[in-house]
Amino acid sequence: MGSGRNPAPGVAEQENTSARTARLTQFFDHMCDHVPVRTAYRCRTYPDQAQQAVLNRTFGCVRVVWNRTLAARQARWHMQDKTTSYAESDRALTAMKKDPDLAFLNEVSSVPLQQALRHQHKAFGVFFAGRARYPRFKSRRSRQCAHYTRSAFTMRGGQLRLAKISAALRYVWSWPDVDVGTLDPAMVIVSREPDGRWYVTFTVDAAAPVPPEDTGHAIGIDLGVTDFATTSDGNKIANQRHLERKARRLARYQRRMARCQKGSANCRKAAAKVARAHRKVRNARRDFLHRASTRLVRTADLIAIEDLPVRNMVRNRHLARAISDCGWGEFRRQLEYKCERYGRRLVVIDRWYPSSKTCSACGHLRADLSLSTRHWRCPSCSARHDRDINAAKNILAAGLAVARGSPGDACGADVRHSGFSRVRSAVKQEPRPASAGIPVLQGGE
């Protein structure tokens, strides 16, 4: 007879399953804490004359390999209707090195040349996947770069030595909280910008950062041109208009360059001035976007934004410069990787969701709303709205619906507005007479 101290078989099996689940959860949490994160440190570098000669020669060889491989790939596709694999392009590089006319390819490190082939193969992969445009030929007037893997450089005590270069490359380290002496980069990228500045980038597999504490706050963001961003809290981030402030000086530099004889020394100097002006605008815009995105990630657990078709919007010749100057695509990219790194959630709402035309209080959908109308009153509940703040509130409501896993959340449907309990689902992006709830859409999609 049993003494009563042993549990029943079903209870024992349940306890073993619970213990096994707890151990697996603890194991996966431990593994997630130690997943490395690829981080890049970009520094100014000051190569001497001999190092510049070797690096410029390397840039030229990378350019030759890329352009010849791209031309051969295009010719084979048009004549034989066949694609070119990475192994075939690698064999073509070996044949190029044996060509007497291309003997200079053997004077530089082979690693940047192999990396150029890998990057071209990846570029075609993302092109056929529909995520990028067709790869283009490289020009000597654009940004030049060479990628070195571990077999082509050494990093000891903070001193960087590249293949085919005997002396250490001098650079300026700008992160006092990171010990450069213990840095173990997985790849080193040396680049020369059109304005003549040299940079070196160290890519490092660093430990994942500690996620910040939950704030219990969610925020919706409506992007615009008048104000760069408007949040559902009622705050507005002013549009800095970086390019517009430098437009007159940039136009003067471009006129000077246009008057110079092409290929002359004065033309190169004028082009460097134009490139420096663009660099200042680009750096100011990037700094502004980093500050804005970091502030949002630190203050909200969930961030909801619209899926804006920037590529189509810049086709409007009246707004193309203003939209490009805003940097909406770069802002979204920064939000994506920062939210992933720090454990936040980014929800992207469908571009056809009528966030500006919908009353955030009752869900009434206006049939039309011109861009010049910045404030409007809801004919259903008489609530007065600021156009951008109202859109941000609707984007937040749609993002919370996505977080709850509501059906139809891809287009912002099934959003429950304050003060009303009815929820109506959207099917097609055409308005009909509105009633209480979310925007009512017709159709059969």
- What is the average pLDDT score of the chain? 85
Q: How many CA atoms lie within 13 A of 268 on its CB side?
A: 6
Output 422 or 94, whichever has higher pLDDT. 94
Strand partners, 218: 302
Q: Give the Cβ contact number of residue 426 at 10 Å.
A: 25
Q: Is 330 in the active site? A: no
- What per-residue confidence (pLDDT) applies to 419? 46
Catalytic residue among 193, 301, 306, 409: 306
Only one residue has tokens 């099996």, namely 13
- What is the average pLDDT across 73-88? 94
Marked catalytic residue, from 193, 350, 388, 414: 388
Q: Which range has the top average pLDDT, 55-59, 202-206, 240-244, 248-252?
A: 55-59
Q: Do residues 204 and 287 touch, judged by C-beta distance below 8 A?
A: no
pLDDT tens, 390-403? 999 999 999 999 88
With bands split at pLDDT 50, 70 and 90, how would you rate the model's confidence at 371? Answer: confident
140-171 pLDDT, tens digit per residue, is 999 999 999 999 999 999 999 999 999 999 99
- Per-residue pLDDT band at 30 (split at 50, 70, 90): very low
User: Would you state the structure tokens that stand for residue 122, as one six-digit string?
Assistant: 């990846």
Whether the CB-CB separation of 285 and 327 falls below 8 Å is answered with yes
Strand partners, 220: 304
Q: Which residues pair with 191 in a beta bridge?
A: 145, 199
Handedness of CA 18, 20, 21, 22 (dihedral sign): positive
Q: What is the 3-state secondary structure (H, E, C) of 121-167?
A: HHHHHHHHCCCCCCCCCCCCCCCEEEEEEHHHEEEECCEEEECCCCC
Spatial strand order of the sheet with 302-306 comes to 236-238, 227-231, 218-223, 302-306, 345-349
Span 202-211, mean pLDDT? 86
pLDDT at 4: 46
**What's the CA gap between 95 and 106, in Å, rounded?**
12
Active-site residue, 222 included: yes
The residue annotated as part of the active site, out of 193, 222, 301, 325, is 222
3-state SS assignment for residue 74 = helix
Q: Check if 388 is active-site.
A: yes
Within 10 A of 123 (CB to CB), how many other CB atoms are there? 17
**How far is residue 311's CA from residue 44's CA, in Å, rounded to a whole number?**
32
The whole-number average pLDDT for the span 219-243 is 93
Token output for 294: 């970091």
Question: Greater confidence, 439 or 40?
Answer: 40
Q: What is the structure's pLDDT at 96?
A: 96
